[in-house]
Amino acid sequence: MSENVSINWKEFAEEITDKVASALDYWCWNVSGDPVEDCYAAHADLDLYDLAQEFAGWSRFGITEEDLKLLEEMPDDVYEEYNGKLKARIEVAIENLRGD
């Protein structure tokens, strides 16, 4: 996509990672019906793209089909960095819940 030539990938990655993390938090605490720790654990093995896809279309979090397309186009190194950051956030949430 030529219109994305000037995209700041790290800025986009940070934004979409925050959106996905917020959506997962909301899902686990308010919607799923499972124990919160179990909900996070069930999502811990999913990648950034898979989680973004799961929550795409929820107006509350603003994850769009365009975001999914950009994730597909994102350079691998940036994707892997932010995928790792999201997984770390999920692991921290699980550890904090186990500590409570």
Digit-coded pLDDT (tens) for 18-27: 999 999 999 9
CA distance 2 to 19: 25
What pLDDT is stored for residue 2 in this prediction? 43
- Average pLDDT value for residue range 87-94: 95
Assigned domain for 23 exists: yes
CA distance 70 to 66: 6
pTM of the model: 0.88
What pLDDT is stored for residue 1 in this prediction? 44
User: Residue 15 has which token pair?
Assistant: 């934004």
What pLDDT is stored for residue 5 in this prediction? 57
- Count other C-beta atoms under 10 Å from residue 17's C-beta: 20
Domain that holds residue 87: 8-99
CA distance 3 to 35: 43
Digit-coded pLDDT (tens) for 52-88: 999 998 878 999 999 999 999 999 999 999 999 999 9
What is the secondary structure of 60-98 as a DSSP string?
A: TTT--HHHHHHHHHS-HHHHHHHHHHHHHHHHHHHHHHH
Assigned domain for 61 exists: yes
Assigned domain for 1 exists: no
Phi-psi region of 8 (alpha: psi -120 to 50; beta: other; left: phi over 0): beta
Q: If you average pLDDT over every residue of the chain, what do you get?
A: 92
Assigned domain for 55 exists: yes
Total structural domains in the chain? Answer: 1
